[in-house]
Amino acid sequence: MNQPSVHQLYSYSKLDKLGEGSYGHVYKGVHIQTGKVVALKIIDLDTADDDVDAIQREVAFLTQLRDGPNITEYYGCYLDGPRVWIAMEYAQGGSILSLMKASPKARLEEKYAVVVVREVLIGLSYLHKSAVIHRDIKAANILITATGKVMLCDFGVSALLATSSSKRNTLVGTPYWMAPEVAQSAAYDTKADIWSLGIMIYEMIKGEPPNAHIMPFKLVQMIPKLKPPRLVEGEGSKELRDFLPLCVTESPSDTVGGRASESEMGQRRF
């Protein structure tokens, strides 16, 4: 990493701690010269090589995708001794998960959930056209700004495909939201994000992802054998219940009965 010092050119001041990301603590901060409020992800580089690789990967993706719709805006990466500061757009509303926890029964009302889904699809469409798989779509990784903008964040495990038709076979992500082909370490592509989106829909409506009572390491082995989750009558509108199976089907293929693409689902109405 050859980023400039946080004390050079652009100086940031760290304020309140907001939480923890994949590889560090996240703080509310301010750009001293302009007074602009930002989010600062501060990471200790004195860590495992794999973690440093993930940090470098996230910075690379944020740089590549900085002008994309519904992607966390990236302002820069700066060194502070053994630490790196990643300055990003501040999401005053927090994550969808934090909104859920503050809501009755820890769930999100459908009228809000469908807006989130629509905006996430816009972000995913941009990622997938850029041959990028997010690989960790879940309520905790979707942020809301003060103006209601929905943003995808946390690109620490994202993957860049060589071409739009390429596939990956690396086991990464969070098990509860993991697509069957990912759990099997089979070849997979951007459709893996569509499965995760479906699980996030279930999570928002039900309050937690399916099989939340199962330990993650056990669930990874079980996912390919489990029936895809469904919402039943009384758990969301008929339109939403019909939408979920388009996301969570065993086969991600483009054939009849396969998983729909983000562009196809973006055309549907609730």
Active site residues: 136
Report d(CA 216, CA 222) in Å as an integer. 10
CA angle 136, 141, 143 (to 5 degrees): 150
Longest Cα–Cα distance in the chain:
58
- Cα end-to-end distance, the chain, whole Å: 45
| Nearest CA-CA partner of 110 in 177, 249, 212, 206 | 206
* Dihedral sign of CA atoms 166, 171, 176, 179 in order: positive
Q: What pairs with residue 42 in β-bridges?
A: 25, 85
Q: Is 124 in contact with 262 (CB distance < 8 Å)? A: yes
- 225 — alpha (psi -120 to 50), left (phi > 0) or beta? alpha
Length of the chain: 270
Strands 83-89 and 74-80: antiparallel
CB 254 within 8 A of CB 194: no
